[in-house]
Structure 1
C-alpha cells in the first residue's frame, strides 16, 4: 500500500513540474511579445514605399545587443535583410530587397529600428520579423505581415444561348489580376447555379472567373441576372446587372375568331400574334386547301374577310419563321347560315341581381317605416313616459264590501255566546266587461247573478223575509266587519273567527 502511494506521488510530482515548465514558457513568450511592438499587418500596392515599424517598449534591466530584420516568403526560407549593432554601421545582406531596404531614420536607433522598402512588388509579400538579441533574456521578436494589394479589372457578360433541355453557361463574370483573390456571387430569380475557378495572373496576382449555368427556356429570355464582385481594394462590392438572352423559335397564336361567322357578315378579321428571339419579321397566311378566298385581304399579320360566304368555310394557317425555327397556328372557320343569338347575362348573374334589388328595397322600406314611426311618436306624444304615473284606483262593489255570513247567531244578555260560523267563500264579484249595455240589462244580470250565488234555502229578498247574510242590518252593527276589496285573480285572507 505504501509503495503504491509512493508511485502515485512520484507521478503527480512529474505532472506538476511539467505544468510549471509550460506555464513559464507561455509567460516568457507572452512578455516578449508584449515588449517588441510591431504592426500585425501592412497593406501596400505595387510600386509604393512601405514603412515597417518596430520598437522595444521596456528595456529596463535589459541590454539590447543587436537588431535583425528577417524576411520569410510565403513559400521559402528565412533571409536576413537588415542588421544593426550599436556603435556599428547597419548591414544589408544579399536578399530580394537589397538596394530597396534601409533603416529609418538614419542612423538607426536600437530602441526603434524601423525599416523602409521602396518600389515594392507583388513578390515582396510575406512575413517580416523584427528580432532583438538581448541580455540576459535572449532573443525576442515581433512579426509583421506585408500584404500586397492589386486592384483587379472586373467585367461581366451575357452568353446568348438557344432554349433547350441541357444546362449551359448563360453568363460569365471575371476579376482579372487581383490580389488577394476576389469573391464573385450571383443575384437572380432564375433557377441555376454559379461555378468559380481561379488561375494565376501577371506579377503574382490572381484571376477569378465565375460562370452561371442553367437550363434555358423561352420564358427566361430577358430576365434579370447580376454579377457581384467583392475585393479588398474596393470600398463596396461592384455589381454588373445583366439580362438573359435566350433564343427560341416563334410561338404563334391566332386571335379574332368568335365562332359566329355567318353568311353575309362583313369585316371580320384574324390576327397572327408571334413572339420569338430573334424577333420574327413577317407572317405568312395560307389555307389547308391551298386556295385563298376572293373576299380575303391580307395586311402583314392581319387577315381580313370583307364578306363571309361559303368560300370562307376553311382552315386558315399562319406561319412565322426566324433564324432558330418555324412556328405556326391554325383556326378552323365554320360558316353558319344564321347568326347566333347574343349571349346575355348568366342565370347566376340574374339571380344575384334580383336578390340585390330585393335587399336594397327591404333596407329602404325599413328605413322609411322607422322614420314615420319616429315622426308619429313626436306628433302624438307617444313613447316612454317622462314622469311616474299615479297608482291605479280600485273600484269597490257592494258585493265585495260585505262578508258572506251564512248564519250569525246573536248572544242573549243572560245566555252564553254561541259559536259563530263564517262562510269564507263569498260570491265572485261581477266585472262589467261590456261598457255599452243598458242599465236595465245590467240590473237584470246582477239579479240573475244573485240567484245563482244565493245559498240553498234562501228565496228572493224581495218577499219581506230575512235579508241575506251579506246585507247589513242596523240591529246588528257589532257583527259587521267590512272586508277588503278583493278582485279576480288576487289572493285574500279570510276574516277573523271569534270563538
Structure 2
C-alpha cells in the first residue's frame, strides 16, 4: 500500500513539474510579446505613405544590441528591409521597398525604431516584423500586417434577350473591377433565375469580380426589377444598381368590342385591336377569313368600324400585328342576328338586392316594435301567471256549526270510516257542480253561492271532515220506496239520502 502511494506521488510530482515548465514558457512569450509593442494591422491605399511603429517598452536589466525590420510577403520568403545597430548608420538591404523605406525619426532611436514606407504599392501587402536582438534573453519580436486597400469600380448592365428560348440566357451583368480585397456581389429580384460569379486577379494584386444573372425569359418578365448589390471594405454602404429586364417578344394581340348582339340594322359598332410587344409594333392589319371586306366597314389604324350591320358582316375578322420579332394575331367571329337581344341593365341586380335588403330591414324593425309593445302592455294590465298562491276556501257558518246526527248510528266497524262510507253510498251522476268543485279558478261570489245551496256540511269542499256511515234499519219507512231510475245523463239530482 505504501509503495503504491509513493508511486502515485512520484507521478504527480512529474506532472506538476511539466505544467510549471509550460507555464514558464508561456509567460516568457507573453512578456516578450508585450515588450515589443507594434500595431497589429495597418490599412493603406496605393500611393500613400504608411508608418509602421515599433517600441521596446521595458529594457530594465537588458541590453538592446540591434533592431531588424523583416518583410514577409503573402507568398514568398522573408527579406530584411531595414537594420539599425547603435553607434552605426542605418542600413537598408536590397528589397522590393528599397529606396522607399526609412527609419523614423532620423537618426533612429533603438528604443523606438519605427519605419515608414512611401508610395506604397499593392504588392507591398504582407507581414512586417520588428525584431530585437537583446542580451541576455535573445531575440524578441512584434508583427504588423500591412493591408492594401483598393476601391473598386462597380457597374451593372442589362442584356436584351428574346423570349421563347429553351435554355437559360444571361439577362444582366454586374462587375467590381480592381478592388482590394475582393468585393462581394449579390442579386435581388422576384424573377426565377441563377447567378454565376467569377474572380480574376488583376494588376498590382487587385481583384476583379464579375457576376452574371441567367434565366429563361418570358414576355411577362419584360420590365421587371432586378438589382445588383456590390459590397466592399472601402465603401461606407453597398452600391445597389436597379435594373429593368429587357425581354423582346412578338406581339400579343387581343380584339375587344364584340358584345354578341350585332343585329341587322345596328349602326356604328367597332372592334379594337389591342397589342403589346417589345419592340413596339410596326404595322396593324385587318382581314376577313373570306378575303372580302364588307362595304360598310371602315378601318382606321387599329380600329374597325361597321357603319351598319347587315348579312355581309356575318364573318370572321382577323387582326395581325407585326414587329421585328414576329407576327401576332387574334380573331373574332361575328354572328348577325335578325332581332336585337334584350339588354340587361347594369344596375338591375343592385336594385333588386337593395329592395330585398330594405324589406328585410323593415320586417326586423316591425317585429322589434311589436315585441316591445306586447311586453309593455303586459306590464300595465298585469297579464301573465299569478305572482302569488291563492288562499284556501273559507268555511261558511252554516256548514261549520252544523253537526251530523249520530243518534241512530250504531257503533262503527273496525274498518276505516272513509272506506265504510264510500262502500255504502250509491254512485252519483256527474253534474256541473263537480266541475265547479274541482276548478280552483272560480270566483269568490260563485263559491259562496255554492256553499249556501249545499244540503249538508260534507258537501262543502272546504270541509275536511269524513261523513258518518249510513246504516239501514227494519223500521225505516223508506225501505220499499225505490228511487226513480234516471240515467246519468238525464238529471243532476242524486238518489235520496237519509241522515
| TM bracket (short chain) | 0.7 to 0.9
Q: Which residues in structure 2 correspond to 1:192-271 (within 5 Å)?
A: 192-271=193-272
TM-score, normalised via structure 2 length: 0.77
CA contact (8 A) 1:404 1:423 kept: no
Does 2:338 align with 1:337?
A: yes
Q: CA deviation at 1:352?
A: 7.5
Q: Is the 2:70–2:78 Cα contact (8 Å) retained in structure 1?
A: yes
Q: Does 1:75 align with 2:75?
A: yes
> Aligned match of 1:396 in 394, 397, 400?
394
- The structure-2 alpha-carbon separation of the partners of 1:374 and 1:8, relative to structure 1 and needing over 3 Å to count, comes to closer
The aligned counterpart of 1:146 is: 146
Partner of 1:480: none
Contact 2:157 2:173 in 1 (8 A): yes
The one-character-per-residue Cα deviations of 1:126-176 (angstroms, maximum 9, x if unpaired) are 111000111121111111111111111111100000112211110001111
Give 1:454 shift: 8.3
Cα separation, 2, equivalents of 1:381 and 1:213? 89
CA offset at residue 360 of structure 1?
2.5
**Aligned twin of 2:454:** 446
Counterpart in the other structure of 1:466:
none
CA contact (8 A) 1:224 1:243 kept: yes
Q: Which moved more, 1:214-223 or 1:295-304?
A: 295-304
Task: Give the structure 2 partner of residue 113 of structure 1.
Answer: 113
1:406/1:423 contact within 8 Å kept = no
1:172 and 1:186 mapped to 2: Cα distance? 10
Q: Describe the shift of the 1:160–1:8 C-alpha distance in structure 2 as closer, same or farther (beyond 3 A).
A: farther
Match of 1:276 in 2: 277
Structure 1: stretches of 5+ with no match in the other structure? 411-417, 464-499
Q: Structure 1's 200 and 437: CA in aligned 2 closer, same or farther, altered over 3 A?
A: closer
- Secondary structure in 2 matching 1:71: strand
Given the superposition, is the C-alpha separation of residues 408 and 275 from structure 1 closer, same or farther in structure 2, using an over 3 Å criterion? Answer: farther
Flag the 1:161–1:431 CA change in 2: closer, same or farther, 3 A.
closer
The answer to whether 1:93 aligns with 2:107 is no
Answering whether residue 292 of structure 2 is matched by residue 291 of structure 1, we say: yes
Match runs of 1:428-447 below 5 Å: 430=437, 442=450, 446-447=454-455
1:183 is matched with: 184
Question: Where does the alignment leave 5 or more consecutive residues of structure 2 unmatched?
Answer: 423-433, 462-466, 478-499
Distance in 1 of aligned mates of 2:138 and 2:306: 106
Q: For each residue in 1:283-318, what CA deviation from the matched residue of structure 2 results, as whole angstroms up to 9, or x when unmatched? A: 210101111111111121111112111000100000
Looking at structure 2, the residues matched to 132 and 50 of structure 1 have their Cα atoms a distance apart, in angstroms, of 21
Of 470, 475, 482, 1:456 maps to 470
1:26 deviates by 3.7
CA distance 1:349–1:436, shift in 2 (3 Å): farther
- What is the DSSP-based 3-state SS (H/G/I as helix, E as strand, rest coil) of the residue aligned with 2:97? coil
How far apart, CA to CA, are the structure 1 residues paired with 2:38 and 2:383? 99
Shift of 1:282: 3.2
User: How far apart are residue 246 of structure 1 and its match?
Assistant: 0.5
Matched with 2:485 is none
- Residues 292, 10 of structure 1: CA spacing in aligned structure 2 closer, same or farther, 3 A cutoff? farther
Instruction: Give the alignment of 1:298-317 within 5 angstroms.
Output: 298-317=299-318
Shift in Å at residue 182 of structure 1? 0.9
* 1:360-375 matched pairs, under 5 angstroms: 360-373=361-374
8 A Cα contact 1:407 1:422, kept in partner = no
Contact 1:165 1:216 in 2 (8 A): no
Instruction: Answer with 90-99 or 445-454: which moved more.
Output: 445-454
Q: Alpha carbons of 1:250 and 1:14: their partners in 2 closer, same or farther (altered >3 Å)?
A: farther
Q: Name the residue aligned to 1:486.
A: none
How many Å apart are 1:9 and its aligned residue? 11
Contact kept? 1:408, 1:421, Cα under 8 Å? no
Q: Secondary structure at the match of 1:123?
A: helix
Report the Cα offset of residue 99 of structure 1: 1.8
Q: Is this contact kept in 2: 1:406–1:421, CA < 8 A?
A: no
CA 12–216 in structure 1, closer or farther in 2 if over 3 Å, else same: farther
- 401-410 or 27-36: which moved more? 401-410
CA distance in 2: counterparts of 1:38 and 1:96, whole angstroms: 22
Corresponding position: 1:172 with 2:186: no
Distance 1:311 1:101 in 2: 98
Matches of 1:56 and 1:224, distance apart in 2: 59
Instruction: Give how far 1:46 is off.
Output: 1.0
Worse-superposed segment, 15-24 or 307-316: 15-24
Paired position in structure 2 for 1:62: 62
* Bigger mean CA deviation after superposition, 94-103 or 247-256: 94-103
